[in-house]
Structure 1
Amino acid sequence: MKVALEVRHMSQVTELTQGLEVIGPQKPEYETILSEDALAFLADLAGRFAPGVKQLLAGREARQAMVDAGQLPDFLSETKDIRDGDWKILGIPEDLRDRRVEITGPVDRKMVINALNARVKVFMADFEDSLSPAWDKVVEGQQNLKDAVEGTIEYTNPANGKHYQLEENPAVLIARVRGLHLKENHILYNGEPIPGALMDFALYFYHNYRALLQQGSGPYFYIPKLQSHLEARWWAQVFAYTEEKFCLQPGTIKVTCLIETLPAVFEMDEILYELRNNIVGLNCGRWDYIFSYIKTLRNYPDRVLPDRQQVTMDKPFLSAYSRLLIKTCHKRGALAMGGMAAFIPAKDPAKQEQVLAKVTQDKELEARNGHDGTWVAHPGLADTAMAVFNDHIGPDMDNQLHITRDVDAPITARELLMPCEGEATEEGMRANIRIAVQYIEAWITGNGCVPIYGLMEDAATAEISRSSIWQWIKHGKHLSSGQLVTAELFRSMLKQELEVVREELGEERFNGGAFDRAADLFEQLTTADELAEFLTLPGYQILTQETVS
């Protein structure tokens, strides 16, 4: 059933509030989030800004075509004056100056409570890579965040009766919206699905900005998967319009942008400049960055990556990325956030010791480089990460903005594009297959944050896994065992590893899931002639086929 939006209690219904249709299943408890006023604001944004998304996505395709044709990414000559200019961002609010450890996770109700209660500075509530955006999860996630901002969020586990509620002094809340490539199929504007990013931004802002400002905080956002400063400019226009519409001081909305695409690393100064009124920092989204390296350089046989387990932050192209982000941010007065520790605490003491040692090593590298903070995926790792950054930042400082890296030699495009040494192994390929199948199965059945083999995986993991094997097939990569990687070899391994997954999970779980469908999607994407932009795009069609049919 289509529900046409009508705004009856406004003095004038503008053209921009016409044509918004909510076609997702309606429940009485959704009325608060999908209120007429909130939807009117969303319709306003969609009318003004949705057309620009199509242009930006077309720009991505055009730039990729140039790279495919042989023009490697590089710093832009037309924006050299911005990179050379002497300017800084507007400023950083008090409650965002110390972000030495942040926890990330989906907007599940229990997760929101546990994350806000964790011994961290910030919780990034995720509508993107760790959320499978089923209609109910998206709407209920907005309600969960609204309740969290109001301090009323509670949850009782129906299985064991355990009760969860907020403790005093919870972490600062930042909402990560969906990327520009993702649509929301359950809300149409002029008959077309709206950008998921606009829905996530509009509903979170509208329902929470007043309460957040009254608490001395504000409407804070993470923006993912930017590929150019033109996309940053689009967001800056959304923020400026929103602030003016709600009579807020320019710069009230604050954002942190993830630099998790290869094109964006060449435009970090420009991204900061376009968003200078609103931005407070950049983040090394390193797992998606690895995927983007593969995707962007997919036509280059000399830049094929090895097993993903070997692609660590000490590799030259990733080290250059991290150091350039820090230098760029600190020059402009912005924070430079590090990447994710995806480990899960282990029950076995010996394994737990290994986990904590790996986390410590990773975080020490980030802290020494000059990052102002880092990410963890599990509350059990917060203390370990915090100890590392406490040692480097100390009790009297909030961050490491004083580390300028001015003595570093200029980081060149050659360093950022440098090939990565390492082997492609049969063990690594089989692990990729098992992990990707399990993650895709979870995603298309509504779960975007999945513990697999001791790691908390999100969509970036499956993207690396499938694109890496695609790359090996395309360029005739040989495994360390001497086997040529072909589509036939992949299909054979996929069949074998599906049986391994069946044995690991048990017949009941396997037969009750969607593993065959996940394997079919994985095979289609990995053996296709062209590398698909995102597996979540066809995955979303599977996820939403019943609710929008």
Structure 2
Amino acid sequence: MTTSPTLDLPDGVEVDAPLRPGYEEILSRRALELVAALHRELEPRRQERLAARAEVVARVSAGEDLGFLPETEAVRSDPSWRVADPAPGLEDRRVEMTGPTDRKMTINAMNSGARVWLADQEDANTPLWENVVEGQINLRDAILGTISFTSPEGKEYALATTDQAQLPTIVMRPRGWHLDEKHITVDGQRVAGGLVDVALFLCASAQPQLDAGKGPYLYLPKMEHHLEARLWNDAFVLAQDALGIPQGTIRATCLIETFPAAFQMEEILYELRDHSAGLNAGRWDYLFSVIKTYRTRGADYVLPDRNAVTMTAPMMRAYTELLVSTCHRRGAHAIGGMAAFIPSKDEEVNAAAYDKVTSDKQREADDGFDGSWVAHPGMVPTCLEVFDGVLGDRPNQLDRQRDDVQVDAADLLDVASTPGEVTEQGLRANIEVAIQYLAVWLTGRGAVGINNLMEDAATAEISRSQVWQWLHQGVTLADTGEQVTRELVQRLTEEVLPGLPGDEADYAEATELFLQVAVAEDFADFLTVPAYETMP
């Protein structure tokens, strides 16, 4: 018989959640002291930055446009500064595998042959309490080489090697600034989920990573302003002092996956320059942010069907070209977007998908990206082959300056030139994918295979936000001539539900949540915020 462990809680810290054997090793007094120190130092500024996000949307709604900040012109025009040199284990990032941190996925990712594993505690995960803690256990065990797993069917999983030099470098993605951790409070206040993730990761895995010749590395999501990057940088300085490790040991790659951040790439790199590992082009969340930021601004900012928006659209080309040129000018890695395809048993489907993925990765490699993401181990060889063909024996393309790139604010704002139409088929697809994803998310899984694609929270966010925008802009569907109304969304939802896999009753809570945000009068900033409150 096993008993629940007890925790050695610092003053002012409460943990109100079930505890399983082993949790006390992650929720150590040292880790909880770091959580408390970070919270007490940074929480007022976190709240200020979250309030500032709403002010940006309000100004855009009033007719003001996003643009490059005049107050930071000196940072952009100063040619002298560069970010820190690539850290050990991050010199070569030509293929990065992404995925949640459950035990089976951790082993598969470490055996994938990728150079980096984005160990996702954010969009491919759910903040279910067990995932928050056990994900950290799995990362620690993977670094120590002690991880193994036996499935309910009896299949055994283990690392192909325990030599960390031969395994992907782990880069953990914590939650964004907007998400709380409701199970941990400091002085009676909820703590930022991202600070919990980082503190637990650093206390459990920083030293094992350093012992393995690498380091504690992070992917930072959903920032909207360079002062949010400064907030992270201050967290790193505090944490490194608390843990007694040298300043600059922590390295962070920032996802440029919000519309406001696209205008502040240099400033974000600058704020984190001693801790920076580059920028990533997070395409799906970026589209979600375009819609969210400009949702009330009329037809010129209405995007067509989600699947019609490709990376060759003018605004997306401007975004990725600017990212590469900015990164390489400052000595930072530029990492490309996700190939979400999951290999299928249908060879015809596979052939078409592999061709599409190869073309996408070839564009990125030719543009100067230093690496790119895949969502399934089966896609690693395809991405690797493309980048091998461009890089050869070089670890990256940091020496390739993109002085030919000239991108201004109008290029980034050129949503109107995006080819495609809004159709009933696209509306149905958004409803179907969002409900199907949410139903699984609410059970505690954040990475869901739907229609041969590995979907995460970003998919649900763009799907429901498109429905909201089309509804509130009174868009007329190109294929049926109908106007998008609440009644139409409700009718199509009722038509979609019987065709989803499993029992229709399994989708009741997900459907209610989807409709709550998709047809509401006011736009919910993040779908995952109300969804998290419904979780046990």
Q: What TM-score, normalized by structure 1, do the two folds share?
A: 0.94
2:95 maps to what in 1?
101
Counterpart mapping for 1:62-141 below 5 A: 62-86=55-79, 87-141=81-135
2:369 maps to what in 1?
371
Matched, 1:478 2:476: yes
Q: CA RMSD in A?
A: 1.5
Shift of 1:288: 0.2
Do the aligned partners of 1:155 and 1:165 also contact (CA within 8 Å) in 2?
no
Do the aligned partners of 2:282 and 2:337 also contact (CA within 8 Å) in 1?
yes
Partner Cα separation in structure 2 for residue 352 and residue 527 of structure 1? 36
2:36 maps to what in 1?
43
2:272 maps to what in 1?
275
Matched, 1:381 2:379: yes
1:171 maps to what in 2?
168
Match of 2:22 among 9, 29, 40: 29
Matched, 1:517 2:509: yes
2:341 maps to what in 1?
343
- What amino acid is the match of 1:156? T
Do the aligned partners of 2:7 and 2:28 also contact (CA within 8 Å) in 1?
no
Partner Cα separation in structure 2 for residue 411 and residue 97 of structure 1? 28
Matched, 1:194 2:191: yes
Shift of 1:47: 1.5
Partner Cα separation in structure 1 for residue 157 and residue 91 of structure 2? 32
Partner Cα separation in structure 2 for residue 51 and residue 166 of structure 1? 45
Matched, 1:534 2:533: no
Shift of 1:529: 1.2
Partner Cα separation in structure 2 for residue 80 and residue 38 of structure 1? 39
2:407 maps to what in 1?
411
Per-residue CA deviations over 1:380-405 (Å, capped at 9, x if unaligned) read 0110011111111112x111112211
Partner Cα separation in structure 2 for residue 154 and residue 51 of structure 1? 41
Shift of 1:162: 2.8
- What amino acid is the match of 2:111? N
Do the aligned partners of 1:177 and 1:221 also contact (CA within 8 Å) in 2?
yes
Do the aligned partners of 2:107 and 2:157 also contact (CA within 8 Å) in 1?
no
Shift of 1:5: 6.9
- What amino acid is the match of 1:538? P
Per-residue CA deviations over 1:69-94 (Å, capped at 9, x if unaligned) read 11110000000000000210122113
Partner Cα separation in structure 2 for residue 407 and residue 267 of structure 1? 20
1:499 maps to what in 2?
498
Partner Cα separation in structure 2 for residue 107 and residue 506 of structure 1? 26
1:469 maps to what in 2?
467
Per-residue CA deviations over 1:166-224 (Å, capped at 9, x if unaligned) read 42521111100000001111101111211000000001001111111111100000000
Partner Cα separation in structure 1 for residue 155 and residue 460 of structure 2? 34
Shift of 1:439: 0.4
2:253 maps to what in 1?
256
Partner Cα separation in structure 2 for residue 107 and residue 161 of structure 1? 19
Counterpart mapping for 1:175-324 below 5 A: 175-301=172-298, 302-324=300-322
1:490 maps to what in 2?
489
Do the aligned partners of 1:393 and 1:400 also contact (CA within 8 Å) in 2?
yes
1:394 maps to what in 2?
392
Per-residue CA deviations over 1:43-70 (Å, capped at 9, x if unaligned) read 1212212222111101111122111111
Do the aligned partners of 1:336 and 1:373 also contact (CA within 8 Å) in 2?
yes
Match of 1:150 among 136, 144, 156: 144
Do the aligned partners of 1:341 and 1:376 also contact (CA within 8 Å) in 2?
yes
Per-residue CA deviations over 1:243-289 (Å, capped at 9, x if unaligned) read 22233222111110000000001001000001000001000001100
Q: What TM-score, normalized by structure 2, do the two folds share?
A: 0.96
Question: Could you say if the C-alpha distance between residues 73 and 527 of structure 1 is closer, same or farther in structure 2, counting changes exceeding 3 Å?
Answer: same
Shift of 1:4: 10
Q: Bigger shift: 332-341 or 183-192?
A: 183-192
Do the aligned partners of 2:256 and 2:262 also contact (CA within 8 Å) in 1?
yes
Q: What is the total number of aligned residue pairs between the two structures?
A: 525
Per-residue CA deviations over 1:289-347 (Å, capped at 9, x if unaligned) read 01000001111111100000011100000110000000000000000000000000011
Do the aligned partners of 1:106 and 1:130 also contact (CA within 8 Å) in 2?
yes
Q: Bigger shift: 470-479 or 38-47?
A: 38-47
- What amino acid is the match of 1:220? Y
Per-residue CA deviations over 1:391-449 (Å, capped at 9, x if unaligned) read 11112x111112211022x2011110102231011111111111110001111111110
Q: Bigger shift: 21-30 or 534-543?
A: 21-30
- What amino acid is the match of 2:198? F
Shift of 1:137: 1.1
Do the aligned partners of 2:34 and 2:242 also contact (CA within 8 Å) in 1?
no
Gaps of 5+ in 1: 8-16, 545-549
Do the aligned partners of 1:4 and 1:20 also contact (CA within 8 Å) in 2?
no
Partner Cα separation in structure 1 for residue 370 and residue 337 of structure 2? 11
Do the aligned partners of 1:229 and 1:270 also contact (CA within 8 Å) in 2?
yes
Do the aligned partners of 1:177 and 1:224 also contact (CA within 8 Å) in 2?
yes
Partner Cα separation in structure 2 for residue 241 and residue 190 of structure 1? 19
Partner Cα separation in structure 2 for residue 164 and residue 90 of structure 1? 35
Partner Cα separation in structure 2 for residue 485 and residue 106 of structure 1? 35
Per-residue CA deviations over 1:465-518 (Å, capped at 9, x if unaligned) read 1100111111111111211111110000001101111xxx244xx44x3x1111
Shift of 1:163: 3.3
Matched, 1:53 2:46: yes
Partner Cα separation in structure 2 for residue 280 and residue 163 of structure 1? 31
Shift of 1:26: 1.6
What SS does the corresponding residue of 1:281 show, helix, strand or coil?
A: strand
Question: Could you say if the C-alpha distance between residues 73 and 4 of structure 1 is closer, same or farther in structure 2, counting changes exceeding 3 Å?
Answer: farther
- What amino acid is the match of 1:46? H
Question: Could you say if the C-alpha distance between residues 166 and 51 of structure 1 is closer, same or farther in structure 2, counting changes exceeding 3 Å?
Answer: farther
Do the aligned partners of 1:6 and 1:18 also contact (CA within 8 Å) in 2?
no
Do the aligned partners of 1:18 and 1:43 also contact (CA within 8 Å) in 2?
no
Gaps of 5+ in 2: none
Partner Cα separation in structure 2 for residue 62 and residue 6 of structure 1? 41
Do the aligned partners of 2:110 and 2:159 also contact (CA within 8 Å) in 1?
no
Partner Cα separation in structure 1 for residue 477 and residue 400 of structure 2? 42
Match of 1:421 among 409, 419, 422: 419
